[in-house]
Amino acid sequence: MGHTASDPATTAATASALDTALVLGTALAPVVARGVIIRRPRAVALAEKADADRLLVRTLQRLRSRYGTAPLRLAVPGRSVVLVLDDADVHRVLAGSPEPFATTTPEKRGALGHFQPHGVLISHGADRADRRRFNESALDTDRPLHHLAEPMVAVVREEAHALLAEADRTGVLDWDAFGKAWMRIVRRVALGDSARDDRELTELLARLRAAGNWSFAHPRRRDLREEFLQRLRQQLEKAEPGSLAAAAADAPTSPRTHPVEQVPQWLFAFDPAGLAAFRALALLAGHPAEQRAVADDLADRDPSRPHDLPLLRAAVLESVRLWPTTPAILRETTTTTRLGERVLPAKTLVVVLTPFFHRDDERLPYADRFAPAIWQDGSARESLSLVPFSAGPAVCPGQNLVLLLTSTLLAALLQHHEVALTSRPRLYPGRRIPGTLNPYGLRFSVARRPS
Ligand code: HEM
């Protein structure tokens, strides 16, 4: 007798070739086309037109109703691949990382090996434990306010004021200005003030990341990688006070750590953080009551001090829930592994497509609404599959730092100013939030708030 979807503790049911093609076509292909390692703005704009992530949600909902919630094997030749469709399984996979669900997969090694072959994300076993410790120490993973929050907040506010001065002059805030200001913040926070205008370093990494988008399909660019890592090493050696480079210099290392190769991930992961902050600004612009609540909350705070800003942190969390910047979390089984009611062979690629879980309107009453309250009233935590920063032992170690920097930047922008969206699509209360929102096309009007 063959296995069917209802057999307990058996191998996973397999999607038909047609359904597999549907998943690959509507879910995976658009994710890959937009660029996994670095975004391709034109593809992002097309994805917005096609409402790509909404299509993904519909496709996976259809598969779930056809095959059930157990992990679903895709009919991919030459590779064992399962799609996770149940939120308890999302939790099991992430809680069971890195053993038996390894974070490193051939696909990720192909992509990230271009510039950080010893990065923690593609490390396993003792190497991973060592590099994870280094990352957690430098990024202060468990603390809402990094121990260098004070100098970091000063940097963010300085750059925000320059950005606002420009917006005050033109009355407009767009990605061109915001993105440049953000990258200056990132270089100063990560590497120190002397790196503020080192756009070449960002550019070198962008070229390596563009190769990374093609994973194994792109030839390795060893000369470029060496040049990049050499420049990065020199900058890190300065350990400029107040920067992550200084925190890294104080973090525990061993011959396994390869500290310089942990840093490209920090630099490139700050990109989606900037996009998330800009989309959070769009959410607040479209929801005046929430924007007002933020301004009221800021009124009594000393802006020069670091603060845990729950309303703005929740807005950024909503931004990455609604538009996850890591839409595909991949794991690979290290051995024959039980997942829920199914048994997966070793070396099975386990795929968690977060837009499906974050926007599943058959389960979540707030799926397509701006609902920052869920991050404060415990409902996001209760749900096992709202995982914009992943979860479990391999959770993003930069989450708190991202929320500190983005909330501080938004606070600086909104404390004395009001923003409104002038680009389309418009966002407003009561309207379904679009599945995909192209951040590069956002434009805001900015006006000083009457005091
Ligand atoms: C909006 C911003 C960000 C989001 C949504 C995000 C999300 C994530 C997610 C989902 C993962 C898990 C990926 C996987 O397991 O395949 C991850 C891993 C990681 N992130 Fe972030 N991240 C962000 C920014 C950052 C920043 C700014 C840093 C560093 C400064 C950072 C450092 C890392 C590191 C080192 C890992 C690998 C952790 C490990 O494998 O143990 N991230 N991030």
Q: Which tens digit of pLDDT belongs to each residue from 177-230?
A: 999 999 999 999 999 999 999 999 988 888 888 766 555 555 556 788 889 999
Q: How far is the CA of 121 from the centre of ligand 1 (A)?
A: 9
Closest by CA to 90, choosing from 397, 383, 435, is 383
| Cβ(401) – ligand 1 distance below 6 Å | yes
* Whether the CB of 329 sits within 6 Å of ligand 1: yes
- Closest ligand 1 atom, residue 132 Cα: 41
Atom of ligand 1 nearest to the CA of 276: 1
Residue bearing the CA closest to ligand 1, atom 11: 396
Could you give the CA distance from residue 34 to residue 339 in angstroms, rounded to a whole number?
A: 30
CB 436 within 8 A of CB 48: yes
Mutate to test the pocket of ligand 1, among 118, 390, 396, 402 (most ligand atoms within 8 A of CB): 396
Assign residue 228 a region (left: φ > 0; alpha: ψ between -120 and 50; beta: otherwise). Answer: alpha
Non-local CB neighbours of 307 within 8 Å, separated by 6+ positions: 301, 408, 411
Helical packing angle, 263-286 and 222-237, nearest 10°: 80
Ligand 1 atom closest to the Cα of residue 94 is: 15
Q: Give the pLDDT band (50/70/90) at residue 39.
A: low
Distance CA 264, CA 181 (A): 19
The residue-averaged pLDDT of 50-76 equals 91
Least confident segment among 111-120, 272-281, 423-432: 111-120
Q: How many residues does the chain have?
A: 451
User: Is the pLDDT at 235 greater than 80, yes or no?
Assistant: yes
The response to whether residue 135 sits with its C-beta less than 6 Å from ligand 1 reads: yes
Closest residue by Cα to residue 273 from 375, 384, 139, 169: 139
Query: Does ligand 1 lie within 6 Å of residue 374's CB atom?
Result: no
Order of all β-strands in the sheet with 101-102: 13-14, 72-74, 81-83, 349-353, 328-333, 101-102
Q: Residue 222's pLDDT is what?
A: 76
User: 398: CA distance to ligand 1 center in Å?
Assistant: 6
DSSP 124-139: -HHHHHHHHHHHHHHH
User: What pTM did the predictor assign?
Assistant: 0.94
pLDDT exceeds 60 at position 258: yes
Ligand 1 atom 40 nearest Cα:
121
Residue 394 CA, ligand 1 centroid: distance in Å:
9
Nearest residue by C-alpha to atom 2 in ligand 1: 273
| Residue 396 near ligand 1, beta carbon < 6 Å | yes
User: CB under 8 Å to 301, separation ≥6 — which residues?
Assistant: 307
Cis peptide upstream of residue 117 (ω within 30 degrees of 0) = no
What is the whole-number distance in angstroms between the Cα of residue 4 and the centre of ligand 1?
37
**What domains does the chain contain, in order, with CATH numbers?**
10-448 (1.10.630.10)
Measured by CA distance, the residue closest to atom 1 of ligand 1 is 273
